[in-house]
Amino acid sequence: MSADPHPLNPAQLEAVHHLSGPCLVLAGAGSGKTRVITHKIARLLQAGYAPGQIAAITFTNKAAQEMRERAKSLVGPRAAKNLVISTFHSLGVRILRSDGTKLGLKEQFSILDSDDVLSILKDAGSSSDNALARRWQWAISLWKNQGWNSDRAAAEAQSDDERVAAVVMKRYEERLAAYQAVDFDDLLGLPHKLLQTDAEVRAKWQETLRYVLVDEYQDTNAIQYEVLKSIVDHPDERRRGMFTAVGDDDQSIYGWRGATIENLKRLPAEYPNLKVIPLEQNYRSTGNILRAANMVIGNNPKLFEKKLWSAFGDGDPVRVVECDNEEHEAERIVARITAIRGQGGALADVGREAEAVEFKNFAVLYRANHQARVYEKALRKANIPYKVSGGQSFFDRAEIKDLCAWLRLLVNNDDDPAFLRAVTTPKRGIGHQTLTTLGEFASRWKTSLYEALFAESLGSVLNARALGSLHEFGRYVNDLEYKARHTTGSEDAKALIMGWLKDIDYEKHLYEGEESEKAAASRWSNVMDFVDWVAKRCGGEIENDGGLTTETERKSVIEVAQTISVIISLAERGDEQNVVTLSTLHASKGLEWPHVVLAGVNEGLLPFKSEEDDMTPERLEEERRLMYVGITRARTTLAVSTLRRRKRGRETVQGIPSRFIGEMKLDEVVAKIDPREKLKLLREAAQQRALAAKAALPSDAG
C-alpha cells in the first residue's frame, strides 16, 4: 500500500478504523469523504477481506471511475482490480447477468434507454403524444422506485390520470417481458425482487459481498435501501450490518426523483449499534463561505448535528450583487470574471500558491436550465469560452439517438435495443404483436432478435405478411451494412447516408411527429449536422478542439460507426477544457470551483415555486439544501446575484430577493458590497429574523 502524503484527521481515522458493525459517516461538503472510503477499503484489505468481498457503491459512473483510480493508487493495481466499485445500477446488472435467469431473463437481456422506453410507452398507450408518454414514463419510474408493480400502482392510483398510467404500465410490463428487455429502473427493481424472494440468491450475494460502502447515501431511494439491506442483513448476527454509509442530510436534493431522506432516519432505528461519525473539517472553502453555508442550513431541522469549519482562514468576503434584470446580471457576471482574471494571483486559490486565474476556475450556477441562455449570450459577446452542464447534449437528442441505433445495429446485429429502435423508427408496419412474437421466439431459442428474424421456423409462429415485413427490414439492414462497409470518403459517405434517410422517409417521420414545422425543421437541422459530422470522419479529416484540421486516413462508414461511442465520449469531454462552466445547481453537486456566482437568487426561482405549487415545509427544506449545495461549491470567492425585476413567462415582474439571502445573515458574514446594497440586505436579514421569531411563537401569543 502506497504512503499517503496527507494524513487523515481524527474523525476520518475513526471512520476508517471502525470495522465492527454498521457505520454512518456524516460527510459535510468538502470534508474528504472519497479519501475516507478509499482508505477504509485499504483498511478492510489489511483486516483480511479479499478484494472481491468489498463493494463500494456510488451514483454516477464518473464518481465510480474516480474512486477506482484513487483506490488503485492507494492499494495498488492488483488489489484494486477485483474490488467491486460501481453504481447501484451496475451492481444490479451484475446480479441480473448472474442470476436473472431465475426471473425468466436470458443472460444477454437488453437494457433500454429513455427514448426506447418512450417509444414502447406510446405504443402501449396507443398515443403519439410525446408529452403524455413522458408523464407516463415519469409516473412509472417513481412507482418502480417505490417497489410497486402495475397492480399496486392501480390499487394506489388517486386520479384518472394515474389510473390510465397504471393500465399503460401493465401493457409496458408485458412488452418488456416479451422483448427480453429491462429499463433503467428494473436494474434496481429486479435485483431487489430476486434478493427478497430467492433465499439461495440472497445467501450467495451476502457471501460474495461481505462489506459494503455506500457513497452519497442521502440520495438513495426506497429500492436502493432495500437492496442494501438484503445484502448486509446476514443471518449470522456477527456479520449483520457490515456496511459504511457515507452521506450528508444537508445535501439531500433529489426528492423529486425518488431519493428519500427517510433512509437516513431509518438507519439508527434498524441498526441500534450504528456508529455515527461526523466529518466537519472542510478542505475546500474559506471561513466566510462556510459561515454563510452554516447560517442558511441552520434553518432546517437537523437529523444529526454538525457544523463545517475550515483551516483556510476567512478569505475573501461573500458578496451580494443586485442587478436590474437578467441582461444586467449577465453583464455583471462577465465583468466579475474579467476583473478576477485581471487580478491574477492577488486572489490565490485556498491552499494553493498564487497562479494565473483561468476560465475553468469559474462557474455560474442557477436553479433552472432556461436561465442559462442570457449568460451564454453575454459570454459569447465577450469571447469567453464556456460549456453548459446539466443541459441536453447533442448526442442525447432523440433524432441523433435514432440514427446511432441504426449504426449500432450495422456494427452489431445482436444489439437488441438498437434493433427495436431501428425497426420502429420510423414505423414500417411491424407492430407490437409481431415484435412480441419475435421476442418470445428469440428467447426460446436463445438468439438475438435480428438472428431470430432469419430463422427458418419463424414462419410457424408468424403470418406471411408479418414475416415478409421483418424479412424486408432484415434485407435492407444487410444491404446497408454491405454498402457502409465499402463506402469511404466524405462525399460518398454523405451520399450513402442521405440515400438511407430518404429510403426510410426519416424527414417525413420528423415532420409527422412534431406539432410545429419549426420544431421539426430544428430536428432535421440536427440530423444534417450529424450527417456532416460522420461524413467528415469518413473523409480523413477531424476538427480538433482548437479548430485546426488534422489529416487522418479515410475510413468507411462502418469503421466510423464502430468507433461512435468513443467519438461521442470525446465530443462530450469537458473536464480539462479551459472554459467557464454554466450549470444547474443540481448538476453542480459533487463539483467545486475557485470562483462561483449563484445567479438569479430570487423568490420564485430559488426557492423555486410555480403559481400552481404550494410551498410545503418539506419542499422549502429541500430548496434550502440546494442553496447550501450551491454555496459550498465555492473555494475562494462567492458572489450571490439577485434581480430587481425578472422575467416570468412573457411578463416582467418585480424581483424579490430570495429569503435565503436574508438567512445568510450577511451582517455576521461581513460582506463587502455596495453600501446601499449592504444596508438593504442588513435590513432584510433583520426582517427575516423577526419573521422567524414570530413564526416560532405559539399561535395564541400576541
Q: What is the set of active-site residues?
A: 33-34, 215-216, 251, 633
- Three cell numbers at 355? 497562479
Sequence-distant (6+) residues with CB within 8 A of 371 are 326, 599, 600, 605
| CA pair distance 70, 64, nearest whole angstrom | 10
CB 240, CB 228: distance < 8 Å: no
CB 395, CB 389: distance < 8 Å: no
What backbone torsions phi and psi does residue 189 show, to the nearest 5 degrees? Answer: -65, -45
**Other C-beta atoms lying within 10 Å of the C-beta of residue 597:** 28
| CA pair distance 103, 92, nearest whole angstrom | 14
| CA pair distance 111, 415, nearest whole angstrom | 10
What backbone torsions phi and psi does residue 641 show, to the nearest 5 degrees? Answer: -110, 135
Angle at 347 between CA 636 and CA 372, to 5 degrees: 55
DSSP 82: T
What type of residue is 481?
Answer: E
DSSP 682: H
| CA pair distance 360, 387, nearest whole angstrom | 10
List, in sequence order, every beta strand (DSSP E) within 11-133.
23-27, 54-58, 84-87, 110-111
Cα–Cα distances in angstroms (integers) from residue 370 to residues 373, 545, 584, 610, in the given order: 6, 27, 10, 14
Q: Is 287 helix (H, G, I), strand (E, B) or coil?
A: helix
Cis peptide before 607 (omega within 30 of 0): yes
Nearest to 81 by CA among 51, 43, 126, 36: 51
| CA pair distance 78, 244, nearest whole angstrom | 24
**Owner of C-alpha cell 404550494:** 614
**Other C-beta atoms lying within 10 Å of the C-beta of residue 215:** 26
